[in-house]
């Protein structure tokens, strides 16, 4: 795990007294922290698209291809609960006159669906890709994530607060002041880890198994802190 801190912004405010009441000076800084961590979950996005002359043939072939994908993934140790159908569409595109046929357009009945496959064992991600391609599915992408993102954000937030304090101390010291207390603190929205997403272009030959490196995830956080200072 790796921590990093970056300087963002700092300001010193000395507010004159109002009605005889002295307003103590303050220092406002924004610190940033980041955490890198290895992912523990992968999601493979699959697509199955079938076009046939009849609706029955289209749905039958689509269902058959899906069952083949599911059976191959079961053989790798995945359960049905690891598969989620994220979309399903069925469309009809009538075939026009020969002179109006467009290249790349599917004419007939088209059944299409997308499936997300959640994988906890990252060592089999490449095997899942090969199994899906072997069953006739398209691989739309592979995304890596961490199952407990709030833990990473909390660590990044701590690093951001520590960075803010370092900035405030430097600013106060330069002005011959010292920090008394924290007046206010604010953070932005907790982001999700920035993972790695890969898109598959063409299936690898069966003799060369697909290998996918998960890399690392990065979570960033910022904290704006106002400190009261005094000479």
| Chain segment 26-84, per-residue pLDDT in tens | 999 999 999 999 999 999 999 999 999 999 999 999 999 999 999 999 999 999 999 99
Residue 144 in tokens: 């890596």
User: Tell me: the pLDDT tens digits for 183-218?
Assistant: 999 987 555 555 555 555 444 455 578 888 888 999
H or E element at residue 127: helix 125-134
Distance of CA 91 to the CA centre of its chain: 31
- Cβ(117)–Cβ(14) under 8 Å? no
Average pLDDT over residues 79-93: 95
CATH number at residue 19: 3.30.110
- Cβ(230)–Cβ(25) under 8 Å? yes
One domain, residues 9 and 67: no
One domain, residues 106 and 76: yes
- Within-domain flag for 201: no
Distance of CA 81 to the CA centre of its chain: 21
pTM here is: 0.74
Residue partners of 164: CB distance under 8 A and separation at least 6: 29, 30, 31, 223, 224, 225
Q: How many CB atoms lie within 10 A of CB 66?
A: 22
- Within-domain flag for 125: yes
Q: Domain of 133? A: 41-145
């Amino acid at each position: 795990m790796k921590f990093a801190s970056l300087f963002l912004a700092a300001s010193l405010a000395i507010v004159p007294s109002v009605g005889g009441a002295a307003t103590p000076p303050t220092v406002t800084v924004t610190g940033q922290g980041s955490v890198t961590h290895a992912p523990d979950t992968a999601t493979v996005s699959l697509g199955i698209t079938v076009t046939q002359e009849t609706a029955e043939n289209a749905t039958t072939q689509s269902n058959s291809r899906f069952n083949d994908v599911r059976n191959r993934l079961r053989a790798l140790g995945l359960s049905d609960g690891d598969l989620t159908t994220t979309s399903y569409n069925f469309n009809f595109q009538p075939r026009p006159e020969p002179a109006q046929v467009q290249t790349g357009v599917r004419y007939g009945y088209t059944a299409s669906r997308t499936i997300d496959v959640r994988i906890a064992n990252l060592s089999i991600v490449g095997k899942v890709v090969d199994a899906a391609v072997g069953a006739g599915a398209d691989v739309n992408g592979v995304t890596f994530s961490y199952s407990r993102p709030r833990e990473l954000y909390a660590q990044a937030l701590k690093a951001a607060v520590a960075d803010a304090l370092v900035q405030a101390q430097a600013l106060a010291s330069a002005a011959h002041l010292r920090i008394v207390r924290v007046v206010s603190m604010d953070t932005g929205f907790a982001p999700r880890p920035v993972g790695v997403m890969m898109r598959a272009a063409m299936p690898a030959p069966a003799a060369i198994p697909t290998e996918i490196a998960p890399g690392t995830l990065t979570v960033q956080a910022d904290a704006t802190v106002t400190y009261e200072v005094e000479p």
